[in-house]
Structure formats: structure tokens, C-alpha cells
Chains A and B, each alone.
Chain A
């Protein structure tokens, strides 16, 4: 048997075909198998998805129940922990403060509700409220009692604080005439009688009005300042820095010129709000300001009108 004949014989095998009966049997088998495979695929998805859906539903239900747990529920502690942990999710400090303020209001209301019904859990709720307050106070910028010197002063229609000090400054003129600072060079130095240098006498203040008392930390409450900034033409000014501390841009106005600023202040305190626009070098180009008295947790500040600086 030579190679040519072998190749010829092998080539003839290429015309072999599967018999029709066998083909029909194979097709029937395949069709049955196809249905099984599709069914298995569907049921495998169901097998995989069912526990996932059940677990997700259970987690959602547990989460929903926990996050709505009242103060006298055993889940209230878990709710507080979740809510406190969620505060860390806020990248924007102002958004975080707003969130914490909301939590504080809720917890305050819950503590009040529990107290009103005489629940034993009210003390715990009150502790949680106080802890929230402490957290807020540590985060909130304190609204200064007076506008600091050198800061962009509030412009009209700003009501400037009426607590401008009437007391003399520490550098007030002394009432007496100071003696010569040095002794004459011709004088014989007498160690006991003539000191070489004499301090000028201290000025004696005529009146000593008591300065505004320093706010006690515990008096501070978290408040939200709401207001609007407009330009000289009265149009809303956007992207304007707003702060209770001049130079420290705490928040910026929205496209409608609106701002919302969370700070810590005392009830009855006058807070000053500064607004300014700085150029790329940091130089203030427009400024304005307004003041308002704190009467509650939300303070509506008069509209601030910007003017060239």
C-alpha cells in the first residue's frame, strides 16, 4: 500500500455522512437537552438570586426599622450609632453640620416627647441629645460677639453692633505728666535716690465699663443663618464667600445668591455675617455684611448688598 493510495482512500472518507435515522435521534436528544439546559440556567439564576434578594430585603427591612426606632426602643442605640456614623459620609463640612443640626433637632424632639409621656428612656434620650450638642459645638464655628478689626466691615444696610466699647483703650493718655525718663548726666549718681530709669505712671481709667461677658460654652446653641447676597444692582450674587469670621470662607452663595450657614451662638447674641468676593490673588474686590440677633435655632439675616472694596 503506497502513500498515494492511502491518501486517496482517506480522501474518500471525507464523504462519509451520518445516517438520517441517527441524525433524527441526535436532534431529538439535543432538543430535549436544550430544554433541560435552559431550565437549569433559569433555576440556577433563581437559586443564586433568591438568597440575595431575601438577604437584601431583610437588610432593608432591618435598616428601615432601626432608622425609625423611637427613643424607648432597644434599637434606638443602633439608630444613633448608624446616624452618627453616617455623618462621616459628608465630605462638605457645611453639609455635615447641616446633617448634625437635623439630628440634634430630632433628638431634642424625641427627648422632649419621652419626657412628656414620662418614659424611663427619656434620660437616655436626653444624654444622647446633649452628646449631639457637644459634638455640634466642637464642630460649629462660634459667631464672634463683635466684628474683628481689619475685617471687611458690614456695609449698609448693616446694623452695626451697638456694643462699641465706650471704655478708654489701654493706650489712653495718662492724667499726670510723666517725669523725665533719664536723670541728668551731670548729677552725681546716688544709687539710693536717683534711679537711672523711671517707668511712666500708669494711666488711670476714668470709667471702667464692664465688657461684654465672654460667652459661656454651655450657653452656645447651634443655629442656622439664612440669607441672600445681592450685587450693587440688586441682582443675586453667586459664589460669594460668606462667613461669621471675616477672611474665613465658611460657605458660598448658590446661583440664587442664597446661603445657609451653621454656627454656634448664644440666644440674644448679635451675629455678624460677612460676604465678599476675592480675586485670584486673594485680594477682596467686593464686600458687604449684615447682622442679626439670635432668637432661635434659625436666624434670617437681612439681605447683604455687595459694594466695591
Chain B
């Protein structure tokens, strides 16, 4: 890092802003908790943007992982998302759109762009070698094959189905929060989630079958 460049490490002031954001999140305003950090970042506080990155990096990474099915692609895509967010931070308006929704929108578009440029779909085999990248103890609760199959199944889903599954069942947002992020009604999210689960089940079965065929062939 260039010693003369901006510091993304947290400062006392940003620490206070982060605590404020935490309090807001605990108070029920999880989606609106970043407002103070965003304001500070827009005012030129590099550490505030660093804190935003720290807070949402893994969430965006998981979103990208479900989209691409590849750890390496997800990591690159996550970095792309934050770079794009930084470039368009000046244009971001906090009114009505939480910062995380802004990041999700960028992530969706970035994933589409990447998919177009590569014109390929990931397979379970491609996913397997990267399994060890970020796993932890609980990750061991499912086998590497199951995880790879699940990621491949997620990657096969329509974008709207995948979004609602990631937000509701991986990130644990409430129906109302998902509705806010996706710009839909709460009822629509509930229906979408139900259908998305059916499609995921089918996609999982197909991915399993594909993996088995390829295993036999090899």
C-alpha cells in the first residue's frame, strides 16, 4: 500500500460511526444502519468506506458465490462490486435505498456482465477445487460434494429466484427487508421464495445427476 495513499483502516471517528451503525442495526434498522458511514465516505473519509467494505464484504461475496458458483470468480466479482460502488458513491442517494441494496444491485449487474463476457456456466467439477477457500467448522456440516452441487444448482436458477433464496435463507433477512432490497412487496417475496425453493430442489437434483454422469464417464 502506498503510505501516502488513503487509509482504509478504522479510525476513532469511524469506530464511533460503526458503533452507531451497530446500534441502528440492533434497533431494527438493519438496512439503514450504514447511513452515517456512507455520509462520511462521501465526504472523503477513506476509513468510513473501509468500514463499509468490512461490513458487507462477506455478504456480497456469498451473493457472488451463489451467482457464479466459483470461489475465484466470486472473490474477483466482490472486489469489482466494491470498486464500482466506490466509483458511483457520489451518485448514490440514501433516500429509500439502503446501501446494501445499492451493493446488491451493483453485484447483480456485475455478475451479468461477467457471465456475458465468459459465456459459460460453472459445473460442479469446476467448483470442487475451490471448496477450501473460506470454509469454517460449520461448513463441514455438509460435504464438499453437496456444497458444490448446491452452488451449481443455485447458479442454474433464475436471477430473481436466486436473489430471494440468498437473501432469505443464506443472509437471513426478513421478508420485509428482502422486499425492500428487491423492490417488491412482502407478499410477492413470500410467493417467490416458495417457487424458488421448488426450482432449487429440481436444479439440485439435475446438478446431482450431471455430476454422477460425469463421474461415470471419467
Contact = CB atoms under 8 A, between A and B. Distances in A.
Nearest to B194: A3
Nearest to A28: B1
Interface string A1-23: 10100111111111111110011
A233 interface: no
A254 B65 CA distance: 80
A41 interface: yes
Interface stretch (A32-40, A66-74, A125-133, A221-229): A32-40
B37 interface: no
Nearest to B151: A13
Contacts of B138: 12, 15
Nearest to B84: A33
A11 B82 CA distance: 25
Contact of A29 (B6, B83, B139, B204): B83
B20 to A, nearest CB: 22
A38 B62 contact: no
Interface string B1-15: 110011010000000
B5 A34 contact: yes
A23 B5 CA distance: 18
Centre residue among B1, B169, B171, B172 by max chain A CB count within 10 A: B169
B78 interface: yes
Given A26-B57, A38-B44, A6 B201 contact: yes
Given A6-B197, A30-B53, A15 B136 contact: yes
B152 to A, nearest CB: 12
Interface string A24-61: 01111111111101100100000000000000000000
Nearest to B41: A34
Contacts of B200: 6
Interface of B: 1-2, 5-6, 8, 44, 46, 49-50, 53, 57-58, 61-62, 65-66, 71, 74-76, 78-79, 82-83, 86-87, 89-90, 133-136, 138-139, 141-142, 146-147, 150-151, 165, 169-172, 197, 200-201, 204-205, 208
B201 A3 contact: yes
A17 B53 CA distance: 13
B65 A31 contact: no
A27 B58 CA distance: 13
Given A17-B134, A26-B75, A37 B87 contact: yes
Contacts of B87: 33, 37
Contact of B5 (A1, A26, A31): A31
Nearest to A19: B133
A12 B141 contact: yes
Contacts, number: 121
Given A9-B146, A16-B139, A26-B57, A35 B6 contact: yes
Nearest to A27: B8
Given A32-B5, A33-B83, A18 B170 contact: no
Dominant SS at the A interface? Answer: helix
Interface residues of A, number: 32
B150 A18 contact: no
A9 B165 CA distance: 12
A37 B86 contact: yes
A31 B79 CA distance: 11
A16 B134 contact: yes
A35 B44 CA distance: 10
Contacts of B172: 14
B150 A16 contact: no
7 contacts: A1-B204, A10-B165, A15-B135, A17-B136, A25-B79, A31-B6, A32-B2
Contacts of B133: 19, 22
A13 B62 CA distance: 7
A18 B151 CA distance: 15
Contacts of A22: 75-76, 78-79, 133
A12 B66 CA distance: 13
B170 A13 contact: yes
A24 to B, nearest CB: 10
Nearest to B165: A10
B58 A34 contact: no
Nearest to B133: A19
Interface in A77-129: none
A11 B170 contact: yes
Centre residue among B46, B53, B61, B79 by max chain A CB count within 10 A: B79
Given A6-B201, A26-B57, A26-B78, A31 B8 contact: yes
Contacts of A1: 201, 204-205, 208
